[in-house]
Amino acid sequence: MNSTPARITKAVIPVAGLGTRFLPATKATPKEMLPVVDKPAIQYVVEEAVSAGMSDVLMVTGRNKRPLEDHFDRNYELEETLRRKGDNDKLERACAPTDLGDIHYVRQGDPLGLGHAVLCAAPHVGHEPFAVLLGDDLIDPRDPLLSRMTEIRAQYGGSVVALMEVDPGQIHLYGCAAVERTADGDTVRITDLIEKPAPGEAPSNYAVIGRYVLDPEIFDVLRGTEPGRGGEIQLTDALRELSTGTTGGPVHGVVFSGRRYDTGDRAEYLRATVRLACERKDLGPEFRSWLHAFVAADTGGRPDIAAGPGLLRPAA
């Protein structure tokens, strides 16, 4: 154990990525601004950080990411118009992102990789433990993960990553961890890490998902981390050094078994939108009935309603 447990108040969210998987939607709009139901994906991520007590949020941005700053800033004209109309519900929704926390921005400049993006946060973070949240991963708010990770950091020191067991055929898409059990059922000690292993080289099917609680020692390691997979400076490689080295460790993994949506993938993004819409109190009941009818029609179970426009009518 290398440092005393401290409350973690800072979160870093790298948002400099180009989002090419969503072209053309992301040609002029940052991928983080794509709505999941009626809220941009990034807002869910900031809400998650804030609800785990991390109200100091640093976004590591790049070119064309101005809409993110505008989203979390005031929009006086809009607010004034809604206030004048007395439309408090919409006013509340417009102000919610601004009232979330204390949001800061730093530009990454050169897109040298996730490890480099995290290193850009060093001057803001200083010498304290901090969290990193990747914007492509949405964690369902009913399955808190970050607060469990901070508990594990308080217990063991060092750094903590979130892991999920994935189909072995998918592990090449992720950082992959070699692990040992601990006395805590959901927690493992990480003994090695490989970024996006080639088939046959993965030591397990434990995938790193986009949540990290990091010891500030990571910055020193990142300063010396050579470009790795894809010619980029990889956070996984720096964590590997912490997990196998003598300072700055240990590295633990919390095995997450809750609901996670990868909004960086088009099919998963659609699933996330449908699931979250179904669960919304305001939209859910009507949307669910429509969806049941749609699926039944699609599978031939309800040929009577397969005629198209009828599907869009509110369910009785």
Q: Token pair of 44, please? A: 């869910």
Binder among 54, 208, 221, 238 for ligand G1P (CB under 6 A): 208
Restricting to residues 235-254, which ones interact with ligand G1P according to CB under 6 A?
A: 235-236
If the CB atoms of residues 45 and 293 are measured against ligand G1P, the closer one turns out to be 45
Verify binding: residue 233, ligand G1P, rule CB under 6 A. Answer: no
Between 56 and 137, whose beta carbon lies closer to ligand G1P? 137
Residue 114 within binding range of ligand G1P, rule CB under 6 A: yes
Of the candidates 44, 72, 156, 174, which one interacts with ligand G1P according to CB under 6 A? 174
* Cβ closest to ligand G1P, residue 152 vs residue 171: 171
What gap in Å lies between CA 91 and CA 85, rounded to an integer? 10
**Could you tell me which stretch among 19-27, 56-64, 97-105, 130-138 binds ligand G1P (CB under 6 A)?**
130-138
List the one residue from 32, 48, 137, 217 that touches ligand G1P (CB under 6 A).
Answer: 137
With binding defined as CB under 6 A, does residue 139 bind ligand G1P? no
Q: Determine, following the binding rule CB under 6 A, whether residue 175 of this chain makes contact with ligand G1P.
A: yes
Q: Which of 48, 56, 136, 241 binds ligand G1P (CB under 6 A)?
A: 136
CA distances from 163 to 61, 188, 212 (A): 25, 9, 10
Question: Residue 37 or 114: which CB sits closer to ligand G1P?
Answer: 114
Phi, psi dihedrals of residue 259, rounded to the nearest 5°:
-90, 125
Find the part of the chain contacting ligand G1P (CB under 6 A) among 42-50, 65-73, 134-142, 278-286: 134-142
Please pick, from the candidates 207, 218, 242, 297, the single residue that binds ligand G1P as defined by CB under 6 A.
Answer: 207
Q: How many residues does the chain have?
A: 316
Q: 3-state class of 313 per DSSP?
A: coil
Q: Which is nearer to ligand G1P, 82 or 251 (CB)?
A: 251
Q: How far is residue 2's CA from residue 149's CA, in Å, rounded to a whole number?
A: 17
CA distance 55 to 44: 13
Pick from 210, 228, 248, 250 the residue near ligand G1P by CB under 6 A: 210
Distance CA 44, CA 155 (A): 28
Report helix angle 284-298 to 266-279, nearest 10.
Answer: 130
Beta strands in the chain (DSSP E): 10-14, 35-36, 39-40, 56-61, 102-107, 130-133, 137-139, 159-165, 175-181, 187-195, 206-214, 251-255, 260-262
d(CA 145, CA 226): 30
For the bound state, the minimum distance from the C-beta of residue 122 to ligand G1P, rounded and expressed in Å, comes to: 18
CA 131 to chain centre: 11
Which 3 state secondary structure label does DSSP give 266? Answer: helix
3-state secondary structure of 141: coil
Site size toward ligand G1P, by CB under 6 A: 14
Q: By CB under 6 A, is residue 12 in contact with ligand G1P? A: no
**Least distance (Å) between residue 23 CB and ligand G1P:** 17
Q: How far apart are the first and last CA of the chain?
A: 60
The residues binding ligand G1P (CB under 6 A) are 114, 134, 136-137, 174-175, 195, 207-210, 234-236
